[in-house]
Chains A and B, each alone.
Chain A
Amino acid sequence: MKSLKARSNQFSNPEYELEVLESTENEGQLFSDKLANVGLYPLKPTQIEILQINMGKMCNQVCKHCHVDAGPDRKEIMTREVMKACLQVIRQHLVKTVDLTGGAPEMNPDFRWFVEEIRKISPSIKIIVRCNLTIILANPKYHDLPEFYKKHRIEVVSSLPYFTAIKTDSQRGEGVFGKSIKALEMLNEIGYGMPDSGLILNLVYNPAGAFLPAAQSALEDQFKKKLWDLYQIQFNSLFAITNLPISRFLEYLVSSGNYEGYMEKLMEAFNPVAAQNVMCRTTISVGWDGYLYDCDFNQMLDLKVAAQNSQHISTWNQQALTGREIIVRQHCFGCTAGAGSSCGGATS
């Protein structure tokens, strides 16, 4: 499978995606109206705590639901120059957590250099890597990634949509489940996910289709039991994430005839508590080219932060960013449905 972009699919065009999303206004409600009803519009940040850095769209996988439209055919990756500008912001201790994502962030040739530089700045700053697991086995040069993560005390967050091959592979590609299990074994072996090791391994569940995730705690219990019984694998927490209707998942929804029903479901499940806790209130997302966004989803829709003169990491202005209005559109209903959804799982 190729990325939407490589296929010149119209859903790789943010303007078209937004047009499709806005067309649901007639059917249901505007997300901004829903926020206004609960006194949250315009949506403002609470405090910027997390810098989520998208190191590039290159990935060894081409998952069907990927909101980044990542894949081996995507060549956009972050340069060292942009990373240096990120380090400048991190050096000022303006954020508590650096969350590295992609694509597969490890495929960026400067990934290790970047992590080392962040760790040099602070031994205590939390560094998260969103590791797709299979990258560890994709090439001998990545086999020592678990050791590298451990050395720099990186928290590993990895997707595993289900504890069976059939469901995982249907979403993430043939053979992904088997390789993911092998990678999880390697991580467990050096202490990741093991009790009292201090090495955190969290898993991410997202539904393999047009439905909402189950309650996070119930899923976590089920995953823990199954992964232990079947493979003797351990992990710390499970994050249940809702698929947001953008990019490849939006294309899937529309082409499978599930779009209207899914949007209706998200709107019906609007939860004011989840709305209060949406991750964009505490996060700034950096694109591979250094531009700043309210979240990784807005990044993919090319909705840059509404902060004058602070739209790029090299011109970071804390005050302007903290005072900005967060840009919301219809896809935001994905963050507020049911128990809510963020890069750290449920929000209520």
Chain B
Amino acid sequence: MKTYYDPEDLKKFGKIADFQKPLADKFFDYYGAVFQEGALTAREKSLIALAVAHAIQCPYCIDAYTVDTLEKGCDEEQMMEAVHVAAAIRGGASLVHSTQMMNKAKELSM
């Protein structure tokens, strides 16, 4: 079966360095640093990542951060609430743009 997304490809993420190592190294260093315990806990960062994964609809990230949030001690209720945050922002972002539509419509209407 040929598909655009294969779960096995997630394991090959590190291989992006094969084509361009210096930039990949920089990226992975940065990535690692971002998820360290900081002003936000590693658990909070993992939930944010899970929400963003849904917002950008990346199946690899959804898989990866479902595992990661569970392994940071989150439960399904917390995980779903994080996804709702992503959904609310996405929905809100569409709806708030309707003010532009409203402005334009009003401008054109008698």
Contact = CB atoms under 8 A, between A and B. Distances in A.
B43 A213 contact: no
Contacts of A222: 43, 73
A167 interface: yes
Given A214-B43, A215-B42, A164 B71 contact: no
B42 A218 contact: yes
B75 interface: yes
Nearest to A219: B73
A212 B73 CA distance: 9
Contacts of B75: 162, 164, 166-167
A344 interface: no
Nearest to A164: B75
User: Range of interface residues on chain B?
Assistant: 10 to 19
Nearest to B73: A214
B41 A218 contact: yes
B67 interface: yes
B6 interface: no
Interface string B59-92: 0000000010011110111000000000000000
Interface residues of A, number: 15
Contacts of A173: none
Nearest to B77: A164
Contacts of A166: 75-77
A207 B70 contact: yes
Contacts of B41: 218
B77 A212 contact: no
A209 B70 contact: yes
Contact of B70 (A164, A211, A215, A218): A211
A161 B75 CA distance: 11
Contacts of A214: 43, 71-73
Contacts of A167: 75-76
Contacts of B72: 214-215, 218
B72 to A, nearest CB: 5
Interface in B27-57: 41-43
B51 to A, nearest CB: 18
B71 A211 contact: yes
A325 B25 CA distance: 43
A207, A211, A219, most chain B CB atoms within 10 A: A211
A114 B71 CA distance: 39
B42 A212 contact: no
A213 B72 CA distance: 7
Interface string A26-52: 000000000000000000000000000
Contacts of A209: 70
Contacts of B77: 164, 166
Contacts of B42: 215, 218
A219 B75 CA distance: 12
A74 to B, nearest CB: 30
21 contacts: A164-B75, A164-B77, A166-B75, A166-B76, A167-B76, A207-B71, A211-B67, A211-B71, A212-B71, A213-B73, A214-B43, A214-B73, A215-B42, A215-B72, A218-B41, A218-B42, A218-B72, A218-B73, A219-B73, A222-B43, A222-B73
Given A211-B67, A211-B71, A218-B72, 6 more contacts: A166-B76, A212-B71, A214-B72, A215-B72, A218-B73, A222-B73
Interface of A: 162, 164, 166-167, 205, 207, 209, 211-215, 218-219, 222
